[in-house]
Structure 1
Amino acid sequence: MLALDTYLSSYAGAAIVVGLALMLLSTGSKPSGGLRVFLLAMTAFLGWRYIYWRITETVPSNGSLVDAVFGWIFVTIEALTLASSTLAYLILTRRRERHEEVDQNLKWWGDKPPPRIDIYIATYNEELEVLERTLAGAKAIDYPSFRIFVLDDGRRPWLEAACQRLEVGYRTRPDNNHAKAGNINYTLSQRLKDEDAPDFAAVLDADFVPHRNFLSRVLALFHDPKVGLVQTPQHFFNPDPIQHNLGIAAAYPDEQRFFFDHLEPARDAWGIAVCCGTSSMVRIAAVQAIGGLPTESVTEDFLLTLRLGENGWRTVYLNEPLTEGLAPEGLQEYIVQRGRWCLGMMEIVRNVYAPWGSHGLNFMERLSLLDSLLFWTTTFTFRIISLICPLLYWYFGVIVVEATLPDIVSYYVPYYVAVLISLNWISGGLIWPVLNDVSQLLAAWPITRAVWMGLFTKGPHKFKVTAKGGDRTKTVVQWPILKPFAILFGLTILGLLLPLLFDFGFNHVGKAGEGIRVVLFWTLYNLLVLGVTMLACIERPRANRPQRMGSEIAALFMDGRRFRSWVLDLGADQARVRGPSGLTVGEQGVIAFDDVGDVPARISGELIDGYRLDLQPTPEQRLGLLRKLHTVDAAPGAQRGDLVLMMKGWMRSLSSR
């Protein structure tokens, strides 16, 4: 047994990191300047200190050839994953916000007529309820010179009729070649023949609702004639599948918050901000200069950034919540979406722009490509192999890491603590153990498959459009997704139990010596991650409930009586009010909303603190409610993690299954 002082001394490194971080962070509240650089540099140093120790001292060398092979495979993937993280740390050392630049250039065209803008809403199979929100928001935009066009690759007569009713443009094309990029290119080529041809084009996915000031704020950054594209963040008014299925929507932000709120502003500071498709605007002259939106990848947005950069046009980022959209509601759609992103990135590297290739990208643009390539190829592979390695020990006696618990505490824990402290300080609490692992693990195998398909097969590669809307009111167990995790969970439990139940055939379990504590902790952590991952695969009902939580005062009129009410939840079809009393289910009346009018309402349920209302708006009132819900200047959803709320959400989620 190792002496107690050995265990205690192994914690010294972690204690020093925590103490130093607390001392430095207490000097200021903003994650900026030299302190930001120091913390990220310290994190990278501790990471490579750990990898150096792993390579020189922990790869099995005195055991079997199998131990050595698996040991080197695992440490190689670890090192490549750290290389990816190190590039991210480098990018995060800087940050740029453009709010003041926008304020100073809101009407940069001076006395000339304002630039003409087209809004392109590409659609394929979305329901009217989804598109209705987007069109209601687009029509409410407060810019003087713009036109709205719905680009329908589904060729649906009912959608054409809806566009006529809402007085927006409707376009189709002869074929569906090149998906969204081809759809936009076709309409743009037709619009350039018109007398009112646009100077700029804003792109919205069918489920993204623009705020009133979307066009004016984004257009301001085109005061610089070399800016070819402006990207804004994607915010979501509904929880993604992980948030919803685990019951933590109010306590844990959506999975994309770190990228849009922190990594994109950092990329912008280095001149490598990327287009993410929706919620962006392009300069028509820049698109014409590169021959239209590129079509060589299923992620045409990232490729558009590279093509613009190669031709001297800049992509910049405005970190303001100017749109809000519908996150994938089903787990399958969530995973398919991320697999498509990965496949598109691999197609770009294989067929168009390799980081080391002969093309016109500058050094930072190549570094940006390498960063994305390493992220997709290492992060998810590492997540899979981390689950497999302990099983190799329990079943076959294969040791992939030759280390004791004090060794791990001395070398790995300081790095891990530094990661949590530095990234959570920078992001305001977005990096959480287990949850980050779960979000990566859910899509790990499809993404790993997409890596191999994109890099090593010529294509063209088929992909699925992310489905939005539909009936989500039933509990659905996603067995095809859950099954592999359930098998790994069962194998891990069995691997722990077999040496306790049977002596024969499991003599290798003592082979690790003091390192058994490392394997045991690793195994227990994997069980925790797998358990939460399986819970996330059970899709809880999403009732057609109000979409925006808040509070405002409204007058409720029932049977000639007037009630002063607090509206706590509001949707286009439902509301929850507090304040009235003495009402009965089924009563009819109206509720008066500012900017909407008197909306017919029916008491549909009695709550502890008020009532649930079914709203029966006219078509014009419905559009008014949608504008009220989705065109305000605010970011919907949780913006940082809250551990207490998270634990409460988990408990509610478990008790409801």
Structure 2
Amino acid sequence: MTSSYFRRFEGRMPPTFEPMSKRRERAWHFWAGATVAAGLWYLVWRWGASLNPDAIWFSVSVAFAETLFFLGTLLFYFDIWREKDTPRRSAPARRTDAGLDDSSEPIGVDVFVTSFDESCDVVEPSLEAARALDLPPNVALRIYLLDDGDRLEMAALARRHDVGYLRREDNVGFKAGNLRNALFHSSGDFVVICDADTRLLPTFLIHTLGYFHDPKVAWVQTPHWFYDIPEGVDWDVWATHRGGLWRRLAAPLFRWLSRGHRTGTDPFLSDPAVFFDIIQRRRNRNGASFCCGAGSIHRRDAIFDQAMKRKAKEIQKMTEGAAKARLSALPCVPLEPYRFHVSEDIYTSILLHGDVQAGWISVFHPQVEARMLSPWSLQAWATQRLKYAGGTFDILLRENPVFKSGMRWPVKFHYAATFWSYLSVLWAPILLLAPAVSLMFGITPVEAYSIEFFVHFLPAVAFSEIAMMATCKGYNLGAGRTLSMSALPINLRALSLVARGKRPQFPTTPKKPGFGGTWPVVWPNIVLIGVMISAGLVGAIRTKLGSEGYSASMLWTNLFWLIWNVGLLTQLVRAAFWHPALELAQPKVGAELEVSDDYAITPV
């Protein structure tokens, strides 16, 4: 069954995320300081001595974009400055140990497995994993399947596994509303949030409940681990499906160009290790790692505490408004433990982190405690990215915590780093297209590509690369840059929709392989690549002809960045040609392919 494709990856084991060594931390801090100093030196010179008076608006625009990126670097460096894990403790043995009442009842834990349109073969392993959890002493577990699709097959699945089944008559609030409904039909002291494909590891509760010895801990987030990320196929296998000539000529060439033996490895750059092990883990030093939904466990009292306070504020505002308008009745204000929003996880995080009176904090547990499924189609990837970007922009423009009182300033800076990274969609296109503009029209953002320019520019770039290599603990630096550049058109679309007042939608990410429907996703990247290649050809020809404004240094400097940018944009185009059947087949060279009819490969 193609929808159960993930069964073949059952043997994969989660990675272990090691703490940052003191030696590496010292190196990171040194090179980060050097980068900031070199960046300031470059920007002072850039604004004071390098602006091109013959193309002043172009020059100022590029310098302004560089300055905004530097400010983003400062926020990012603060965001990941130091790693500080919360000491792990054994699970609380008594209710009072977890900041609860002093009754003799066991500590109640509810596991919520949310579903809307996912198939039974995706949801069933999640229920099986929840039932296989190792329970600490004095813990009572209840498992609920939250079916927002109101399907008979899901009700039967819940009965078969002897778990609670909760459904609704409507889909108000979507996932947030689904969770809200479950909270009103359950009573556990702690709530574990799972998506339909979240398969908790047996140690989840053993390793996370201990953090709740601190009564101020509102939730614990664990890393997302996609255990089905494609490992790719050998170039020889790939070329075999395209005939003997392809195999003899293309495989060696592509192996040399890619500097690897395999193609299709993590085609959609889904591996979230950098985000969780570098960013979330280091926000933990300020109790500021935000909730990412699945794989998290929450204190019920904290969820309802912020919901009640928010409802009281809304009632107060409405009462004042009613008094002014002399209204005799007030509309009902619903209690939303999870705010009805496409990004209900980060929204709830903001509300709890902003409650200065309660002093709620979060904990990031640095090791994997659940396995999940990654996008296996370009459409699924685009759906996920549009949802992330739309939810973030909606919060940024309408409920921005940075400009509200109540939140501690270090926590505000962590959220500001997230918002700034998404806002870079406004100035990233300037730097992306600047080399093409220069080569097409013969204008430059600097007065001259002189030795003085490179003396100021190269140290800032080189120090930044060294700093990132030091802090990222061996992770692939190019993946993040490629992802941000490839997703640029999607993020621009998300910002445009939110700015025009269209609230983000709640589509679920497809949980099965797919192929097709890629053109709407990749056409902006293809157009940009075409524009850049055309600009490179124009620049080369006009330099050869000795046209005014063109020189060898101008040509080669801009060609370097043009090729760099084209390389980043091509990742999404390459992903459009990745076919899940190739990953599922994995035959030996020369063997006959045997895959499902839905994803059959026809040799050329």
TM bin, normalised by shorter chain, reads 0.7 to 0.9
Distance 2:452 2:268 in 1: 33
Question: 1:590 corresponds to which residue?
Answer: none
- Pick from 255, 276, 279 the counterpart of residue 292 of structure 2: 276
Give the conservation status (yes or no) of the 8 Å contact 2:232–2:266.
Answer: no
Asked if 1:539 corresponds to 2:578, the answer is yes
With over 3 angstroms needed to count, the CA separation of the structure-2 counterparts of 1:119 and 1:458, relative to structure 1, is: same
Asked if 1:225 corresponds to 2:215, the answer is yes
- C-alpha offsets along residues 475-527 of structure 1, whole Å, 9 cap, x if unaligned? x48222332222222232222333555799x8756345743332222223233
Which has a greater percent of strand?
1
Question: 1:594 corresponds to which residue?
Answer: none
- Pick from 383, 388, 408 the counterpart of residue 362 of structure 1: 408
Shift of 1:374: 0.8
Distance 1:305 1:252 in 2: 27
Distance 2:269 2:233 in 1: 8
Asked if 1:83 corresponds to 2:71, the answer is yes
Distance 1:150 1:128 in 2: 11
Percent of residue pairs identical: 24
Shift of 1:81: 1.9
| Structure 2 portions without partners, runs of 5+ | 1-19, 98-102, 239-261, 308-335, 596-602
Question: 2:331 corresponds to which residue?
Answer: none
Distance 1:118 1:612 in 2: 45
Distance 2:209 2:78 in 1: 30
Question: 1:639 corresponds to which residue?
Answer: none
- Pick from 237, 251, 274 the counterpart of residue 258 of structure 1: 274
Distance 1:335 1:402 in 2: 40
Give the conservation status (yes or no) of the 8 Å contact 1:297–1:345.
Answer: no
Shift of 1:411: 2.7
- Counterpart mapping for 1:119-134 below 5 A: 119-134=111-126
Question: 1:348 corresponds to which residue?
Answer: 395
Which has a greater percent of helix?
2
Q: Which amino acid aligns with 1:420?
A: E
With over 3 angstroms needed to count, the CA separation of the structure-2 counterparts of 1:57 and 1:126, relative to structure 1, is: farther
Shift of 1:608: 8.2
Question: 1:138 corresponds to which residue?
Answer: 130
Give the conservation status (yes or no) of the 8 Å contact 1:80–1:374.
Answer: no
Asked if 1:306 corresponds to 2:350, the answer is yes
Shift of 1:34: 4.5
Give the conservation status (yes or no) of the 8 Å contact 2:270–2:375.
Answer: no
With over 3 angstroms needed to count, the CA separation of the structure-2 counterparts of 1:130 and 1:91, relative to structure 1, is: same
Give the conservation status (yes or no) of the 8 Å contact 2:24–2:470.
Answer: no
Question: 1:249 corresponds to which residue?
Answer: 265
Asked if 1:398 corresponds to 2:443, the answer is yes
Question: 1:571 corresponds to which residue?
Answer: none
Q: Which amino acid aligns with 2:304?
A: Q
Give the conservation status (yes or no) of the 8 Å contact 1:384–1:445.
Answer: no
- C-alpha offsets along residues 247-283 of structure 1, whole Å, 9 cap, x if unaligned? 3638998442111011111101022111111100111
- C-alpha offsets along residues 550-588 of structure 1, whole Å, 9 cap, x if unaligned? xxxxxxxxxxxxxxxxxxxxxxxxxx9xxxxxxxxxxxx
Structure 2 counterpart SS, 1:190 = coil
With over 3 angstroms needed to count, the CA separation of the structure-2 counterparts of 1:351 and 1:411, relative to structure 1, is: same
Asked if 1:168 corresponds to 2:154, the answer is no
- C-alpha offsets along residues 336-361 of structure 1, whole Å, 9 cap, x if unaligned? 2122222222222322234123x322
Distance 1:532 1:261 in 2: 24
With over 3 angstroms needed to count, the CA separation of the structure-2 counterparts of 1:96 and 1:499, relative to structure 1, is: closer
With over 3 angstroms needed to count, the CA separation of the structure-2 counterparts of 1:70 and 1:332, relative to structure 1, is: farther
Give the conservation status (yes or no) of the 8 Å contact 1:255–1:439.
Answer: no
Q: Which one has more relative contact order, counting CA pairs under 8 Å at least 6 apart?
A: 2
With over 3 angstroms needed to count, the CA separation of the structure-2 counterparts of 1:449 and 1:163, relative to structure 1, is: same
- Counterpart mapping for 1:228-239 below 5 A: 228-239=218-229
With over 3 angstroms needed to count, the CA separation of the structure-2 counterparts of 1:308 and 1:530, relative to structure 1, is: closer
Question: 2:558 corresponds to which residue?
Answer: 519
With over 3 angstroms needed to count, the CA separation of the structure-2 counterparts of 1:407 and 1:183, relative to structure 1, is: farther
With over 3 angstroms needed to count, the CA separation of the structure-2 counterparts of 1:254 and 1:544, relative to structure 1, is: closer
Q: Which amino acid aligns with 1:159?
A: M
Distance 2:175 2:83 in 1: 31
Structure 2 counterpart SS, 1:148 = strand
Question: 2:311 corresponds to which residue?
Answer: none
Shift of 1:59: 2.5
Distance 2:33 2:491 in 1: 30
Supply the RMSD in Å over aligned alpha carbons. Answer: 3.4
With over 3 angstroms needed to count, the CA separation of the structure-2 counterparts of 1:349 and 1:487, relative to structure 1, is: closer
Distance 2:539 2:472 in 1: 44
Give the conservation status (yes or no) of the 8 Å contact 1:107–1:220.
Answer: no
Shift of 1:541: 2.2
- C-alpha offsets along residues 79-134 of structure 1, whole Å, 9 cap, x if unaligned? 11221121111222211123xx3244554657955411000111111122211221
Q: Which amino acid aligns with 1:415?
A: A
Structure 1 counterpart SS, 2:199 = strand
Asked if 1:479 corresponds to 2:519, the answer is yes
Distance 1:208 1:421 in 2: 36
Structure 2 counterpart SS, 1:467 = coil
Give the conservation status (yes or no) of the 8 Å contact 2:90–2:207.
Answer: no
Give the conservation status (yes or no) of the 8 Å contact 2:497–2:503.
Answer: no
| Structure 1 portions without partners, runs of 5+ | 1-27, 192-196, 547-575, 577-604, 615-655
- TM-score normalised to the size of structure 1? 0.71
Distance 1:106 1:613 in 2: 51
- TM-score normalised to the size of structure 2? 0.77
Aligned length: 512
Give the conservation status (yes or no) of the 8 Å contact 1:423–1:431.
Answer: no
- Counterpart mapping for 1:63-82 below 5 A: 63=54, 67-82=55-70
With over 3 angstroms needed to count, the CA separation of the structure-2 counterparts of 1:483 and 1:610, relative to structure 1, is: closer
Distance 1:464 1:257 in 2: 24
Shift of 1:170: 1.3
Question: 1:205 corresponds to which residue?
Answer: 195
Structure 2 counterpart SS, 1:51 = helix
Distance 1:46 1:114 in 2: 58
Give the conservation status (yes or no) of the 8 Å contact 1:241–1:330.
Answer: no
Question: 1:56 corresponds to which residue?
Answer: 48
Q: Which amino acid aligns with 1:401?
A: V
Give the conservation status (yes or no) of the 8 Å contact 1:94–1:270.
Answer: no
Distance 2:306 2:543 in 1: 69
Question: 2:258 corresponds to which residue?
Answer: none
Give the conservation status (yes or no) of the 8 Å contact 1:404–1:517.
Answer: no
Asked if 1:488 corresponds to 2:535, the answer is no
With over 3 angstroms needed to count, the CA separation of the structure-2 counterparts of 1:128 and 1:525, relative to structure 1, is: same
Question: 1:530 corresponds to which residue?
Answer: 569
- Pick from 461, 477, 480 the counterpart of residue 436 of structure 1: 480
Shift of 1:376: 0.4
Asked if 1:97 corresponds to 2:85, the answer is yes
